[in-house]
């Protein structure tokens, strides 16, 4: 159906003298691509909003997370969440420099990743999509909630018995919550520095 | 053939394919250990062992000359591949570059977290666009070729491209930028096909690699000039650059140029992915220096680690670029910034692309400092480190010992000593 519309529009365009870059149909679309089912979109969509939108059902506590951490994370991140080959996840006392020099993104040596994120959802999202190494995406939502709770508890952000779920996770007040500014951007906009040349 | 040469020229017997792979792997491992010099200088009279690739192989896909040794190297802080087999940041040999295009094989590499290059069958690959759109759509690679294509020359530069006093060569100071002709569909074409809804303000793009690296850009940028690119320099995008599909976000920090692009979600706020939050800043002025690269340039000859054989005429040359648009002017100083002279633009000038400049230069044999600065079409001028220090109200020499916040587009000085050796003069 869309193809027929497109064809008609193409003919119209040719009649009009072959307007360059003219779209192929009257509504400006090409009619290319497949419409995914809602299930297909749900399966692919692992993007979590800072306000918690798209978090799946489930829950977890630090206690449950400790056992999962020992089993699935400690080998790379260290038994206590530091001292491993992978980045520091639990703030050591006294502080130690990470053996991991710099990550992409470069959070910097000595920085504790879960404390750097302004929203707890960022931690949840990342563990869910990218951990554990070589078994990425294998964790169940309950496990991700539990691991997030464990890391936040060990870093002094939440209490040991707090339950994290769809509602409570986005409400966690992260220490770095106000630690960022979002710059504006428009096409053709210069940066604030250097300033325009004088004269 | 037995060889006692460096690992890069060593060649094992066996099937040609296998030995080629072994050659590549050995070279990569040597590069990771820093064993490969950035400027390979064979001893006098020494002839490298010929790479005996079969004639039929060479007819199918040509190699460069065995005498050309220009190679990438891993950043010194972290080997690539590392203990986990992950690739991090790999520097392009700018000192050897000519013209404005970076050979695809030498394009710098930057990765989310560090990643393992995925092996993606393009027939199976799909790009899903959903979220705040009227018509969510999934495109195969064949589908994407049914849209009008654009081919545009753009640089991609990692935010980590910081020049430090300890860096010796231009590969080390500036090697995280590269420039290609990218071919693909404008993202705006695809988003219009899906019908962006009112209230949408950001898009989150996501790769298909094991960490599903994701980044957020403003919808205004997505609708401006971003490309869902399947082509790089006349052929398919290389696996290390995102085969079969990558997002090109012209002029923006490299991390937004999502490789192995599989999904775009249109949303109503800044989502702050893992990749995003490592790049945010509390300081509004620093934050405002992110996203878009400022005007930048660097002299690639003479540059650190090179040696001038003696006084006389040389071609001073380098690259200039800006995330704000086309380069309008490049000035060069051979007295450390006291006096400036316009360099010639030698080659094509494209918006948000490497631009080659050069000038005749007669070196009198005395110590001097050579620098370049670029001005872009927005009138932005590349700053010196002292100018940056004045802006951020720190002592003038502050950035000689401290890294630059956000993206570093400061002027790069090279000191030519009377013996002809060239050194980083930050």
Q: Can you say whether residue B416 is alpha, beta or left, with left for phi > 0 and alpha for psi between -120 and 50 degrees? A: beta
Under 8 Å between Cβ of B255 and B159: yes
Rounded CA-CA distance B139/B158 in Å is 28
Q: Grade residue B373 by pLDDT with cuts at 50, 70 and 90.
A: very high
Q: Is residue B111 part of a domain?
A: no
Rounded CA-CA distance B299/B289 in Å is 23
Query: Looking up tokens 């010929």, which residue turns up?
Result: B50
Task: Give per-residue pLDDT as tens, B318-370.
Answer: 999 999 999 999 999 999 999 999 999 999 999 999 999 999 999 999 999 99
Under 8 Å between Cβ of B40 and B48: no
Q: Distances from the Cα of B63 to the Cαs of B55, B58, B114, B168, B232, in angstroms?
A: 11, 7, 29, 29, 18
pLDDT for B405: 79
Pick the residue with more confidence: B85 or B228? B228
Under 8 Å between Cβ of A194 and B294: yes
Least-confidence region, from A36-50, B26-40, B91-105, B297-311:
B26-40
Q: Do A196 and B380 touch (CB under 8 A)?
A: yes
Map chain B to HEC letters: CCCCCCCCCCCCCCCHHHHHHHHHHHHHHHHHCCCCCCCCCCCCCCCCCCCCCCHHHHHHCCCCCCCCCCCCEECCCCCCCCCCCCECCEECCHHHCCCCCCCHHHCCECCCCCECCCCCCCCCCEEEEEECECCCEEEEHHHHCCCCCEEEEEEEECCCCCCCCCCCCHHHHHCCEEEEEEEEEEHHHHHHHHCECCCCCEEEEEECCCCCCEEEEEHHHHCCCCEEEEEECCEECCHHHCCCCEEECCCEEHHHCCCCEEEEEEECCCCCCHHHHCCCECCHHHHCCCCECCCEEEEEECCCCCECCCCEEEEEEEEEECCCCCEEEEEEECCCCCCCEECEECCCCCCCCCEEEEEEEEECCCCEEEEEEEEECCCEECCCHHHHHHHCCCCCCHHHHCCCCCCCCCCCCEEECCCCEEEECC
Same domain, B263 and B309: no
Structure tokens at B207: 């790769």
Q: Do B128 and A44 touch (CB under 8 A)?
A: yes
pLDDT for A98: 58
Helix (H) or strand (E) holding A41: helix A38-44
Please give the average per-residue pLDDT across B143-171, as a whole number: 96
Least-confidence region, from B92-106, B323-337, B379-393:
B379-393
Rounded CA-CA distance B27/B81 in Å is 12
Residues in chain A: 199
Q: Is residue B97 part of a domain?
A: no
Query: Looking up tokens 């500014």, which residue turns up?
Result: A181
Which chain A residues have a beta carbon less than 8 Å from that of B135?
Answer: 35
Rounded CA-CA distance B285/B410 in Å is 16
pLDDT at residue B93 is higher than 90: yes
Q: How many domains does the structure of chain B reveal? A: 3
Which of A40, A102, A191, A195 to probe by mutation at the B interface, max B CB count within 10 Å? Answer: A191
Same domain, B300 and B180: no
Q: Grade residue B282 by pLDDT with cuts at 50, 70 and 90.
A: confident
Same domain, B276 and B300: no
Q: Is residue B220 part of a domain?
A: yes
Which chain B residues have a beta carbon less than 8 Å from that of A190?
Answer: 324, 378-380
Compute, in degrees rounded to 10, the torsion defined by CA atoms A28, A34, A35, A40: -150
Rounded CA-CA distance B23/B8 in Å is 7
Rounded CA-CA distance B191/B187 in Å is 6
Sequence spans of domains, chain A = 1-31, 59-171
pLDDT at residue B8 is higher than 90: no
Task: Give per-residue pLDDT as tens, B192-249.
Answer: 999 999 999 999 999 999 999 999 999 999 999 999 999 999 999 999 999 999 999 9
Residue B142 sits in which domain range? 126-280
pLDDT for A85: 79
pLDDT for B369: 98
Name the stretches of chain A with pLDDT < 70.
Answer: 1-26, 95-111, 194-199
Rounded CA-CA distance B206/B263 in Å is 5
Q: Distances from the Cα of A16 to the Cαs of A5, B357, B417, in angstroms?
A: 16, 44, 67
CATH number at residue B206: 3.90.420.10
Specify the pairing of strand B126-131 against strand B261-267: parallel
Specify the pairing of strand B202-207 against strand B214-218: antiparallel
Under 8 Å between Cβ of B217 and B252: yes
Q: Is residue B85 part of a domain?
A: no
Same domain, B273 and B302: no
A135 touches chain B (CB under 8 A): no
Least-confidence region, from A185-194, B40-49, B96-105, B162-171:
B40-49
CATH number at residue B352: 2.60.40.650
Return phi, psi of residue A184, to 5°. -75, 160
* Domain edge (last residue) among B236, B252, B280: B280
Same domain, B244 and B302: no
Q: Is residue B84 part of a domain?
A: no
Q: Grade residue B41 by pLDDT with cuts at 50, 70 and 90.
A: very low
Interface subset of A 138-177, CB within 8 angstroms of B: none
Q: In whole numbers, what is the pLDDT of chain B averaged over residues?
A: 87
3-state helix, strand, coil in chain A (%, to 5): 35, 5, 60
Q: Which residue of B has its CA nearest to A179?
A: B282
CATH superfamily for A59-171 is Cytochrome c-like domain (1.10.760.10)
Pick the residue with more confidence: B216 or B5? B216
Which of B141, B212, B257, B399 to probe by mutation at the A interface, max A CB count within 10 Å? Answer: B212
Give the distance from residue B334's alpha carbon to the nearest chain A alpha carbon, in angstroms.
22
Q: Which residue of A has its CA nearest to B77?
A: A101
Give the distance from residue B136's alpha carbon to the nearest chain A alpha carbon, in angstroms.
6
Task: Give the residue among B263, B279, B377 at the shortest CA–CA distance from B327.
Answer: B377
Under 8 Å between Cβ of A118 and B270: no
Task: Give per-residue pLDDT as tens, A119-166.
Answer: 999 999 999 999 999 999 999 999 999 999 999 999 999 999 999 999
Structure tokens at A34: 């497949």
Which of B113, B257, B296 to probe by mutation at the A interface, max A CB count within 10 Å? Answer: B113
Rounded CA-CA distance B186/A69 in Å is 43
Under 8 Å between Cβ of A90 and A154: yes
pLDDT for B5: 35
Please, what is the Cα angle at B255 between B185 and B133, to 5 degrees?
45
Interaxial angle between packed helices A141-154 and A120-130, expressed in degrees from 0 to 180 and rounded to the nearest 10: 130
- Terminal C-alpha separation, chain A: 59
pLDDT for B339: 97
Q: Is residue B120 part of a domain?
A: no
Q: Is residue B182 part of a domain?
A: yes
């Amino acid at each position: 159906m869309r193809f027929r519309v497109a064809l008609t529009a193409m003919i119209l365009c040719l009649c009009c003298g072959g307007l360059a870059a003219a779209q192929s149909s009257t509504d400006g679309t090409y009619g290319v691509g497949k419409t995914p089912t809602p299930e297909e979109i749900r399966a692919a969509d692992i993007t979590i909003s800072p306000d918690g939108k798209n978090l799946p059902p489930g829950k977890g506590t630090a206690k449950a997370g400790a056992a999962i951490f020992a089993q699935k994370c400690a080998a790379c991140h260290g038994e206590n969440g530091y001292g491993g080959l992978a980045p520091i996840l639990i703030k050591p006392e006294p502080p130690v420099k990470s053996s991991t020099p710099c990550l992409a993104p470069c959070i910097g040596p000595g920085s504790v990743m879960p404390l750097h994120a302004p929203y707890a959802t960022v931690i949840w999202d990342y563990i869910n999509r990218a951990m554990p190494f070589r078994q990425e995406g294998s964790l169940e939502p309950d496990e991700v909630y539990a691991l997030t709770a464990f890391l936040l508890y060990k870093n002094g952000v939440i209490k040991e018995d707090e339950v994290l779920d769809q509602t409570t996770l986005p409400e966690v007040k992260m220490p770095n919550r106000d630690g960022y500014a979002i710059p504006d951007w428009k096409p053709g906009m210069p940066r604030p520095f250097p300033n325009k040349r004088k004269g | 053939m037995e060889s006692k040469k460096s690992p890069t020229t060593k060649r094992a017997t066996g099937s040609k394919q296998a030995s080629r792979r072994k050659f590549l792997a050995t070279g990569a491992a040597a590069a990771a250990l820093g064993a490969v010099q950035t400027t390979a200088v064979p001893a006098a009279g020494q002839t490298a062992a010929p790479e005996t690739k079969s004639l039929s192989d060479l007819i199918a896909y040509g190699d460069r000359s065995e005498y050309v040794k220009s190679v990438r190297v891993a950043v010194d802080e972290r080997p690539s591949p590392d203990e986990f087999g992950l690739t991090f940041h790999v520097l392009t040999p700018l000192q050897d570059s000519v013209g404005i295009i970076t050979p695809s094989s030498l394009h710098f590499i930057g990765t989310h977290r560090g990643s393992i290059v995925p092996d993606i069958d393009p027939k199976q690959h799909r790009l899903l666009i959903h979220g705040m759109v009227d018509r969510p759509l999934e495109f195969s690679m064949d589908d994407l070729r049914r849209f009008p294509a654009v081919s545009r020359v753009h640089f991609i530069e990692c935010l980590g491209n910081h020049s430090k006093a300890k860096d010796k060569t231009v590969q080390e100071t500036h090697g995280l930028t590269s420039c290609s002709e990218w071919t693909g569909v404008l993202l705006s074409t695809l988003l219009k096909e899906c019908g962006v809804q009112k209230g949408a303000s950001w898009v989150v793009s996501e790769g298909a690699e094991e960490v599903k690296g994701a980044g957020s850009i403003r919808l205004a940028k997505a609708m401006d000039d971003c490309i869902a690119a399947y082509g790089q320099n006349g052929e398919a995008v290389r696996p290390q650059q995102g085969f079969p599909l990558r997002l090109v976000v012209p002029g923006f920090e490299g991390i937004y140029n999502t490789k192995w692009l599989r999904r775009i979600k249109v949303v109503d706020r800044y989502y702050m992915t893992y990749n995003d939050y490592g790049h945010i800043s509390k300081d509004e002025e620093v934050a405002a220096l992110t996203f878009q690269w400022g005007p930048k340039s660097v002299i690639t000859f003479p540059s650190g680690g090179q040696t001038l054989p003696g006084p006389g005429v040389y071609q001073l040359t380098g690259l200039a670029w800006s995330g704000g648009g086309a380069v309008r002017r490049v000035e060069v100083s051979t007295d450390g910034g006291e006096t400036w002279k316009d360099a010639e633009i030698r080659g094509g000038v494209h918006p948000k692309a490497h631009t080659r400049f050069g000038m005749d230069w007669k070196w009198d044999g005395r110590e001097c400092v050579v620098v370049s600065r670029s001005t872009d079409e927005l009138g932005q001028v590349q700053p010196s480190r002292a100018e940056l220090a004045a802006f951020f109200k720190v002592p003038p020499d502050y950035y000689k010992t401290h890294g630059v916040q956000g993206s570093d587009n400061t002027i790069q000085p090279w000191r030519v000593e009377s013996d002809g050796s060239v050194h980083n003069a930050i």
